[in-house]
Structure 1
């Protein structure tokens, strides 16, 4: 659990650094390759090899070289390499979602008691009960969502950016009338819209309770894609756009091929092994501590005055 959170944090940090790199670099003019302590080695090990690869692939499409088609070919290769991993992650996520739905009554009950809890001890005990319930029923706290495909693609993003930005030939080239080295809002919008559609398709077939949780992620991914494409060369935006189209096909494969099979598989598992109930957390209230001053103070007999007055 902690390792996954750490990976997600590193992935987010790397994405932020990529955004800063794109935003701080002027994409309107070609720049000389970096030689600094940080960016020099990154360009040497990522940007330069990608530049050579794009140039070699571009020559396969005729003379003069067509760098746009080369970027599209690289996109296809990257997505095909990652396809088994992404499909495996999609299957794992779907299984987790359906298992979580099976124990939803138990989780809802714990959440209601958490909302009514008044002490830190009660809240801690109920949080432990929540984790135990999910663990006993094979449900992950992260819902099966992994960040490995994104982490694998981050070096590709950086390499493509540097290859386009620091290669005069690629920077000045055009594809379908689009300058690959300049920012292009049309490409950025198209890239964002493809991931909006992909996110919408990924919600099909999910329970309503889980759709609400997934909508935030569905909006975040297109927004970040649009922003990165907006401040980066259009060649990188072209990579996002083509990747989004391939992601749509991947999501359709998951929805129409894997989802019915996974639903049947999870239903069979639940039939054989029904959800395990977990003992409810019981927190004993702490005894009230009596201060020394209160303990030393003598108790007054309320009936003493009445008895004296009567006499």
Structure 2
């Protein structure tokens, strides 16, 4: 259930982003800025300021302005701003993963009993037992994984897309021979591959049981990143590609610096405070209803005799 919720949350966010970027749009031609009820305010408050920011930064790189380097610099700034939040989330996720591994025997036992449960009451009681077991041992149902960094980046994605799509100068510009306003298969592939590598590195050091659970989720990010970059201007794909490279370095920091320390921290805490056992749920079977039997009226044996004597 937890994995399904994660998949739905990440898949839902990527779907919203995809619809926002690609619905009713054509990235092959520059278009006039939107003025409608929905896209007009988004362009006014997000796209236009981003367009001015990209233009201002691009002019710092010489004349003519280099919009590609401006997008890369904005990517670096955004990732540096988010770095403390993302590192804290990574540390929280690692703690939760190691704590969950410590109570895995208890959780496996509950799952076996859930599979053997036959009534809704039994399943509900066992689900409550699992939640209590995790709560008593400081394990979160979400495993420490949150969507906040992605939610924070959603306005940046939208602003970049609109700045590229509705600015003739940015749309027609090139970077290393790549047109920033048109879709580009190579950029989309590179963006997807960076997140494949980042996802693989994020599984290093995890228990084998948790690797199997997270592999599907880890592959969703590269696939969706590739799809979004494929239908978006190459300038936005460049943002994903550069962001993926920075995410790889962030994952390496987590693996080689934070992971050994967190493992030692959790091990020391578990030695001091071993996993707390929770009383097993006892299901009292309901008594089977007693079927009422129809009582036959008793025949009066003397009735015939009395009639005979009359």
TM-score > 0.5 by shorter chain:
yes
1:24-78 per-position Cα deviation (integer Å, ceiling 9, x unaligned): 3100000000000010000000000000000000000000000000000000000
Look up the SS of the partner of 2:293 in the other structure.
Answer: helix
Question: 1:90 Cα shift?
Answer: 0.2
1:77-103 per-position Cα deviation (integer Å, ceiling 9, x unaligned): 000000000000000000000000000
Structure-1 residue corresponding to 2:54: 54
The structure with the largest alpha-carbon Rg is 2
TM, length-normalised to structure 1: 0.91
Q: Are 2:89 and 2:145, in contact at CA under 8 Å, matched by a contact in 1? A: yes
Structure-2 residue corresponding to 1:203: 203
Structure-1 residue corresponding to 2:16: 17
Q: Are 1:93 and 1:144, in contact at CA under 8 Å, matched by a contact in 2? A: yes
Structure-2 residue corresponding to 1:127: 127
Q: Distance in 2 between matches of 1:15 and 1:156?
A: 14
Q: Distance in 2 between matches of 1:256 and 1:15?
A: 29
Q: Distance in 2 between matches of 1:295 and 1:277?
A: 48
Alpha-carbon spacing, 1:112–1:59, altered in 2? closer, same or farther (3 Å): same
Q: Distance in 2 between matches of 1:163 and 1:231?
A: 16
Say if 2:77 is the partner of 1:82.
Answer: no
1:207-249 per-position Cα deviation (integer Å, ceiling 9, x unaligned): 0000011101111000000000000000000000000000000
Alpha-carbon spacing, 1:37–1:12, altered in 2? closer, same or farther (3 Å): farther
Q: Count matched residues.
A: 290
1:169-202 per-position Cα deviation (integer Å, ceiling 9, x unaligned): 0000000000000000000000000000000000
Say if 2:64 is the partner of 1:64.
Answer: yes
Question: 1:14 Cα shift?
Answer: 4.8
Where do residues 141-152 of structure 1 align in structure 2 (5 Å cutoff)?
A: 141-152=141-152
Q: Are 2:21 and 2:158, in contact at CA under 8 Å, matched by a contact in 1? A: no
Question: 1:119 Cα shift?
Answer: 1.1
Q: Are 2:165 and 2:171, in contact at CA under 8 Å, matched by a contact in 1? A: yes
Structure-2 residue corresponding to 1:295: 293
Question: 1:12 Cα shift?
Answer: 5.2
Look up the SS of the partner of 1:141 in the other structure.
Answer: coil
Structure-2 residue corresponding to 1:33: 33
Structure-1 residue corresponding to 2:213: 213
Q: Distance in 2 between matches of 1:45 and 1:100?
A: 43
Look up the SS of the partner of 1:283 in the other structure.
Answer: coil
Q: Are 1:15 and 1:154, in contact at CA under 8 Å, matched by a contact in 2? A: no
Q: Distance in 2 between matches of 1:37 and 1:297?
A: 77
Q: Distance in 2 between matches of 1:14 and 1:119?
A: 35
Structure-2 residue corresponding to 1:305: none
TM, length-normalised to structure 2: 0.91
Give the aligned CA root-mean-square deviation in angstroms.
1.4
Structure-1 residue corresponding to 2:226: 226
Q: Distance in 1 between matches of 2:117 and 2:12?
A: 35
Look up the SS of the partner of 1:280 in the other structure.
Answer: coil
Structure-2 residue corresponding to 1:240: 240
Give unpaired runs (5+ residues) of structure 1. Answer: 299-311
